[in-house]
């Protein structure tokens, strides 16, 4: 899916290589302390339990160099909720948009947690989590704009309407 956002798999690989980006899954990432200039996660952390998300963010903090940049893009629970309260989104669409409902999924998908959101955040609640983990200079950003051009250019424009963007410094 990320490759499509960059036009092609080749485009995605080109961005990864020219930016010297390393990637992996949340569980298998093991990096030395202070080795990263930045860390980017887009529409990933909502698929982790709050405990697993916090654990990953604590590890990310150790991997970042002093003044390293964390950039996170997440679906915006506040935006979905406002749309529902305003009456522009019906209840079934609202529940489906959060990705928290297991309705309509096969039992094995639910058991394995495939594509299901485990938790939802808004900019304020996620900022509070980052502050709790001793990140500093926590700032909500816009699509494609931030402290690190290399990280900002990974943003996927097609997800802008449903997302918020947060950056923080180690």
**pLDDT recorded at residue 12:** 64
Residue ranges per structural domain of the chain: 28-76+121-169
**pLDDT recorded at residue 116:** 79
**pLDDT recorded at residue 25:** 60
pLDDT along the chain (170 residues), means of 10: 53 68 65 93 92 95 97 97 94 87 61 72 98 98 94 92 97
Strand order in the sheet with 64-75: 36-42, 64-75, 163-169, 136-141
Given 2.60.40.10, 3.40.50.150, 3.30.1490.100, 3.30.565.10, which CATH number is that of 28-76+121-169? 3.40.50.150
**pLDDT recorded at residue 159:** 92
């Amino acid at each position: 899916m990320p490759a499509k956002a960059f036009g092609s798999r080749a485009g995605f690989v080109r961005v990864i290589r020219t930016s010297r980006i390393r990637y992996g899954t949340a569980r298998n990432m093991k990096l030395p302390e202070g080795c990263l200039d930045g860390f980017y996660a887009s529409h990933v952390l909502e698929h982790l339990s709050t405990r697993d998300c916090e654990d990953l963010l604590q590890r990310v903090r150790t991997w970042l160099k002093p003044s390293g940049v964390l950039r996170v893009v997440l679906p915006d629970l506040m935006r979905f909720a406002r749309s529902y309260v305003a009456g522009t989104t019906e209840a079934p669409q609202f529940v489906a948009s959060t990705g928290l409902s297991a309705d309509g999924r096969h039992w094995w998908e639910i058991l394995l947690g495939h594509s299901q959101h485990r938790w939802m955040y808004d900019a304020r609640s996620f900022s509070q989590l980052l502050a709790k983990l001793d990140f500093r200079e926590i700032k909500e950003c816009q699509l494609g704009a931030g402290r690190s051009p290399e990280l900002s250019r990974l943003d996927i424009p097609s997800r802008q309407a449903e997302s918020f963007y947060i950056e923080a410094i180690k």
